[in-house]
Amino acid sequence: MKKSVLSSAILSAIVLSGCGGSNNEDVVNQGRTITVIDGYLENALVCVDRNNNGVCDEGELIGSTNSNGQFTIPTADQDYPVIIRSIAGQTKDKDRIGYLTQSYEMTANSSSSVVTPFTTLANANDMSVEDLASFLGFDDSSVISGDYVSLKQDADQSEDAIMAHALARSLVQELPTESANINGDELKKTAEDINSAIEEHYGNSNDINEIDENDFVRSDDGSFEVVEVINDLQNYLIKGNEDKDAPISEWNIANFSNYWATEEGVFSAWLTEDDLCVLENGDIECMTYSVNGDVLSITSEDGEAENNVFIYTSTDLAFAVPDEGDLTLWTTNDLIESMSFTVSDFENKTWFIVMDDSNNATSEPVYGELRFGEYNTETQTGVVTLIDSEGNIETNWTLPNGNLRIGFEEHPEESPLEVRYATTNGTIMIVNDVEQNADVFSMMTQDEALALNIVSKWEEASM
């Protein structure tokens, strides 16, 4: 399949339309002001649940939060419950670098001035936040019924607020895309398990700052492992390196642009506090850099600075948009050794693929939707539907040699698409076309909003 087939699957509006976008600062008849917190969430969508059905229906979306996570609900709607939509690739958490890596919803009743994982958990179990505080072992319910982020600065409540914030950061990763799909009993049990993991870690370390700097993330065996919060881009990129001549950690960098990927290939880079070094074609070049928020600025030999805006970060995989308008992948994982796809990766699942459709130096980001059906173990094939703006294309998928192959036998003008599995962070799969240059990569994710917003930011940068 030529990439032009996927071009037709681009949605007519890459940036979600009808999402409000106002921070509501100009509302004349102001009503109730709410603060949306995981950390403070910027550009999260605000819905008023006027029919009290737990769903953000058409006409109930009234705007988005400002940079402090706040939104003022007009007087006419202030007595309704609220639903907050946090969108991967669009909503920012002040706790972290880049945009959210997953989409989820939180809720709060009409009497609450905050919307948090705790108000969401209380609603899902039809209990008060005060009763939830008692269940979770917090003596002072105000720690979880209010702004636990600001309470970390209160000497009397700081320790409890830090524990509450760590629990909230970790609990939010268990929330589904739509709040109507929350299982209250399961989420309550998960909160209890996370709380136990936090308390055990604190008991072992006796360092409250460690609790403030880490998430507790569910691992494959069901336990909760400690993962550092990515809230400092420089530290994230340095990853413990002290000596530029003896790095202990390196990044593998690949350009998603077909043209530049072919020109540059995959190269290694590492940072120390003072230097950024690149290994390319056997040569090492070191240069100075600076970091400001989520922007890495690299100074070249001629004194020019190139800005790289990091739009997505995870423990071992990130995306940045340089000034030139490309999309670059940064990963500490190996991109050369192939992984093997399994049937369970695709059967009865929908994946969204993002790639470049250009043959020149100017990127043309494209987005496609692939809906996979049942896999027949006898024929070792399955049905997959490519969602096209002009209709649907139904064809077959197989897994030869651990790769994913999508055939287009009924469309002889198109070549089959066969991609190998390069790496993953659990949310995003990095793949590359077996038939094309090995250094040309694409990404696949099951989070549509994340795919759309990465395309949007890539498009904005390439204009």
- pLDDT-derived band at 408 (thresholds 50, 70, 90) equals confident
Identity of residue 186: E
Pairing of strands 82-86, 92-93: unpaired
Per-residue DSSP letter, 223: -
Identity of residue 278: V
Query: All domains of the chain, ordered by start, with CATH?
Result: 3-9+336-462 (2.40.128), 30-228 (no CATH), 233-331 (2.40.128)
Residue 162 CA to residue 136 CA, distance in Å, equals: 14
Tell me the C-alpha to C-alpha distance, in Å, between residue 134 and each of 170, 276, 291, 356. 19, 49, 42, 52
Widest pairwise Cα distance in the chain: 71
Please check the confidence at residue 76 and state whether its pLDDT lies above 50. yes
- pLDDT-derived band at 13 (thresholds 50, 70, 90) equals very low
Question: Nearest-5° angle of CA 456, CA 457, CA 461?
Answer: 120
Please tell me the predicted confidence (pLDDT) of residue 213: 92
Please check the confidence at residue 429 and state whether its pLDDT lies above 90. yes
Place of tokens 């589904």: 176
Residue 343 CB coordination number (10 Å): 14
Place of tokens 């890495």: 296
- pLDDT-derived band at 358 (thresholds 50, 70, 90) equals confident
Residue 154 CA to residue 356 CA, distance in Å, equals: 49
Are 398 and 380 spatial neighbours (Cβ–Cβ below 8 Å)? yes
Please tell me the predicted confidence (pLDDT) of residue 219: 85
Instruction: At 385, list the tokens.
Output: 């539907």
